[in-house]
Amino acid sequence: MDKSLKQLAVLYADVSGSTRLYEQYGDAIARTDLALCIDILRDIARGLSGETLKTIGDEIMVAFAEPVKAALCATEMQASLRRSGEEGRFKMGVLHIKIGWHYGAVAWRDNDLIGEAPITAQQIIKLAKADEILTSRQAVDTLPPPLFPDIHPIEKVPAEAWNGELSIYKMPWERTGEETQISSRPRLAATAGEIALILTYGEQRLRIDSRNTGCSVGRGKQAGMQVNGRLTSRQHAEVSFRNGRFYLRDESTNGSYIISEDGARKHLRREEDVLAGRGRIGFGAWPDDDVDGSVGFDCGG
């Protein structure tokens, strides 16, 4: 890596749940599979002119002179690792990684990269969940929008590398709904044309079905359903219909809280789950704790 460069894109990729994998499959299998995983990630980075600066157990740190190549690397890492798992390359099945990256100022201390970029990339990956790619507004501003049209902001947090806020963006990488995580819950029995999800918030009533297949929920003016809870994020969650199911995907810091009609409770944080039956969703807190952030749902519509 050219040490005269004052700015770099720094990417961290980390295998999710590695401790559990060691416990479940034993040291020998886990160590072999994780080493293969790191090799795959390193090869992808090398093919996009990325230099692997460090591997720490099940985490890899890569630097890029061009941020667009970091973005391409992140999406290819996720897609390639999924393909490798589905093709049976790992004895442990499909492995899952989370990725965080940032473009910013750097400096060198001997052979160690220091400065804003690695500090911020580390902060970002700590917020990521399995199968996610998170980045910063500074990184997004360097990318050509036509190449990454679905990047969107999800949260703002206090920055660790400067005084002020760090805007976190999510980079979707799955090309179609068929490639997204499939819930183990059964599909809804009716056909797509016969079912609908009704969301109710005050005077707002929104229908999700085969024609209107999704909406965003949050405090922001661009949200399909604007919810003004005290802990609701500007872009808090996405509700979608695909493959005969209704999904709620949380994209917030505080999480989304589901209470079903039968009393079952679920807390999602940067996760996705199926909505079924009736109940209430709290965007930022349990519905009873923040009525203004509570939305009713009915999948019998």
Domain boundary residue, one of 177, 204, 237: 177
Count of domains observed in the chain: 2
Per-position b or e across 257-291, b if 16+ CB within 10 A of its CB: bbbeeeeeebebebbbbbbbeebbbbbbbbbeebe
Query: What's the whole-model pTM score?
Result: 0.63
Residues 153 and 267 in one domain: no
Residues 47 and 173 in one domain: yes
d(CA 164, CA 195): 46
Residue 277 structural domain: 188-298
Per-position b or e across 21-46, b if 16+ CB within 10 A of its CB: bbeebeeeebeebbeebbebbbebbe
Whether 213 is in a domain gets the answer yes
Residues 254 and 121 in one domain: no
Residues 152 and 201 in one domain: no
Q: For residue 56, what is the domain's CATH number?
A: 3.30.70.1230
pLDDT, residue 188, reads 41
Domain boundary residue, one of 177, 210, 242: 177
Domain boundary residue, one of 128, 149, 177: 177
d(CA 80, CA 238): 25
Residues 293 and 197 in one domain: yes
Residues 13 and 160 in one domain: yes
Residues 158 and 17 in one domain: yes
Residues 151 and 21 in one domain: yes
Per-position b or e across 98-110, b if 16+ CB within 10 A of its CB: bbbbbbbbbeeee
Residues 15 and 109 in one domain: yes
From first to last of its 301 residues, what are the pLDDT tens digits of the chain? 788 899 999 999 999 888 888 888 899 999 999 999 999 999 999 999 899 999 988 899 999 999 999 999 999 999 999 999 889 999 998 899 999 999 999 999 988 999 999 999 999 999 998 899 999 999 999 998 778 888 888 888 999 999 999 999 999 887 544 333 333 333 343 343 457 999 999 999 999 988 888 899 999 888 999 999 999 999 999 998 876 788 899 989 899 999 998 788 899 988 888 888 899 999 999 999 999 999 999 987 5
Q: For residue 205, what is the domain's CATH number?
A: 2.60.200.20
pLDDT, residue 175, reads 52
Residues 160 and 229 in one domain: no
Whether 227 is in a domain gets the answer yes
d(CA 102, CA 10): 6
Whether 182 is in a domain gets the answer no
Residues 160 and 269 in one domain: no
Report the sign of the C-alpha dihedral through residues 36, 41, 43, 46, in that order: negative
- The answer to whether the CB of 45 falls within 8 A of the CB of 71 is no
pLDDT, residue 201, reads 95
